């Protein structure tokens, strides 16, 4: 009997040493090991990985990647993982290279922005700077509407506003266009644009290595005039006239040179010197951070509102995301503020509170959500929608017209 017990103990020890537990066994394929780690870590730690797709469907997509992983390049693997995350439908759950992505991808020196009438060129090689601002119609004869549809498969988003905000950064890599089937492997790349005189021309786009990116001569779009309400600093205030105060809050974080507590005191001092009938809180460029940072300012504004008949407006847009959404809702609940602008990039009820992990063999870091936030009970829309929608026209942008501010000044 003692021999039998000893044999059983030795067998159990051998199984343990061989790793026959629930731990992942190495496959001798670094990419496959990383794929398994990627999927298992998310499955275990994400608050609800299968909220928008069934476990069976997501595992099927994961297995498709595994079946083709032997022949995958580093970029194919990267975009395959991005595709897998796009199916999760959580804008906070995403990935990126831990160091300069240009070591693994070839950058395309252009950037585009969506306006009501289509996509416009904002960055291009200096030799083509005269075409800045023109409308981009297609990439290699693929119409922009189709480009957007294809790009959905590598972008983590929850609504069209955030998809459009993230599009340019997603597609301005040669390997991204190849993965999406917008161009063939190593095919020449060009943008088809419509000039101001309605001519249709093509601009070649040359992929750049990491070293070439550092040396590239790029031209950036410059507006004919920049409005005084354009994004500046982390937070600031600005009287627009005798009874209208503009407060801009661009990131949910403390300014290292001016604490939010001290900024709130400055605003309080300003409010004590003049009676403002209209106060505007600009959150159009706020992509999030710590949602509680704004509290000292909200306390000052709420105290002021109790003593004055003040109309509050909160400006939101496609870059309003995460804690920027929370603070937008705070202004509704605390100040009875009217939302004005365009649909937010972030969702009202959704996942957040990020944690991170890095793959063992590939320099990729993954963020994932650990909490579910129900900011407005029963809210079922995909964005925070404004009470008053303001068109986002290229003409206004070009001429430095802040359409939201213009509407308020004309209707207050």
Q: Which band of pLDDT confidence, cut at 50, 70 and 90, is reported for residue 24?
A: low
Chain position carrying tokens 């999760």: 88
Using CA atoms, how far residue 172 sits from 105, 143, 151, 411, in Å, is 10, 15, 11, 41
Nearest to 389 by CA among 347, 340, 344: 340
pLDDT, one tens digit per residue, over 284-309 is: 999 999 999 999 999 999 999 999 99
d(Cα 300, Cα 334) in Å, to the nearest integer? 11
pLDDT, one tens digit per residue, over 232-275 is: 999 999 999 999 999 999 999 999 999 999 999 999 999 999 99
Whether 263 contacts 233, CB under 8 Å:
no
Domains by residue range for the chain, with CATH: 111-220 (2.30.42.10), 235-347+382-411 (3.90.226.10)
pLDDT, one tens digit per residue, over 27-79 is: 789 999 999 999 999 999 999 999 999 999 999 999 999 999 999 999 999 99
Q: What is the pLDDT of residue 5?
A: 35
**pLDDT(2) > 60:** no
Angle between helices 295-307 and 323-335 (to 10 degrees): 20
d(Cα 103, Cα 97) in Å, to the nearest integer? 9
Kindly give the pairing relationship between strand 349-358 and strand 364-374: antiparallel
d(Cα 363, Cα 99) in Å, to the nearest integer? 7
**pLDDT(26) > 90:** no
pLDDT, one tens digit per residue, over 365-380 is: 999 999 999 999 999 8
Q: What is the pLDDT of residue 12?
A: 38
**pLDDT(10) > 50:** no
pLDDT, one tens digit per residue, over 101-159 is: 888 999 999 999 999 999 999 999 999 999 999 999 999 999 999 999 999 999 999 99
> How far from chain centre, in Å, is Cα 178?
22
Q: What is the pLDDT of residue 25?
A: 59
**pLDDT(1) > 50:** no
Give the residue with greater pLDDT, 146 vs 196: 146
- pLDDT, averaged across the chain: 93
């Amino acid at each position: 009997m003692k021999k039998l017990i000893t044999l059983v103990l030795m067998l159990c020890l051998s199984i343990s040493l061989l790793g026959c537990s629930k731990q992942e066994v190495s496959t001798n394929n670094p990419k496959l090991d990383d794929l398994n780690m990627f999927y298992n870590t998310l499955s275990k730690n994400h608050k609800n990985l299968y909220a928008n797709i069934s476990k069976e469907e997501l595992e099927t997509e994961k297995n498709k990647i595994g079946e083709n992983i032997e022949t995958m390049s580093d970029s194919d693997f990267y975009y395959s993982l991005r595709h897998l995350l796009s199916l999760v439908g959580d804008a906070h759950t995403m990935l990126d290279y831990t160091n300069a992505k240009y070591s693994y991808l070839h950058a395309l020196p252009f950037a585009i922005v969506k306006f009501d009438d289509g996509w416009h060129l904002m960055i291009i090689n200096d030799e083509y700077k005269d075409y800045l601002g023109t409308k981009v119609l297609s990439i290699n004869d693929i119409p922009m509407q189709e480009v957007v549809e294809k790009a959905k498969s590598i972008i983590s988003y929850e609504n069209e506003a955030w998809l459009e905000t993230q599009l340019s950064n997603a597609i301005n890599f040669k390997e991204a266009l190849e993965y999406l089937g917008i161009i063939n492997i190593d095919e020449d790349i060009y943008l088809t644009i419509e000039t101001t005189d309605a001519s249709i021309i093509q601009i070649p786009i040359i992929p750049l290595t990491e070293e070439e990116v550092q040396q590239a001569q790029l031209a950036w779009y410059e507006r004919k005039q920049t409005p005084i309400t354009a994004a500046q600093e982390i937070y600031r205030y600005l009287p627009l006239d005798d009874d209208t105060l503009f407060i801009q809050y661009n990131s949910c974080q403390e300014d290292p040179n001016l604490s939010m507590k001290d900024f709130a005191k400055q605003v309080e001092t300003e409010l004590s010197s003049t009676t403002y009938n209209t106060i505007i809180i600009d959150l159009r460029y706020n992509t999030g951070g710590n949602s509680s940072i704004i509290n000292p300012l909200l306390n000052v504004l709420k105290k002021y509102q109790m003593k004055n008949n003040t109309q509050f407006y909160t400006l939101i847009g496609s870059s309003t995301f995460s804690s920027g959404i929370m603070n937008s809702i705070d202004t509704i609940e605390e100040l009875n503020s009217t939302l004005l602008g365009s649909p937010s990039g972030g969702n009202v009820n959704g996942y957040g509170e990020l944690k991170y992990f890095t793959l063992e063999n590939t320099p990729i870091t993954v963020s994932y959500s650990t909490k579910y936030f129900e900011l407005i009970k029963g809210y079922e829309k995909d964005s925070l929608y404004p009470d008053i929608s303001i068109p986002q026209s290229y003409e206004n942008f070009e001429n430095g017209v802040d359409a939201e501010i213009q509407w308020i000044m004309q209707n207050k």
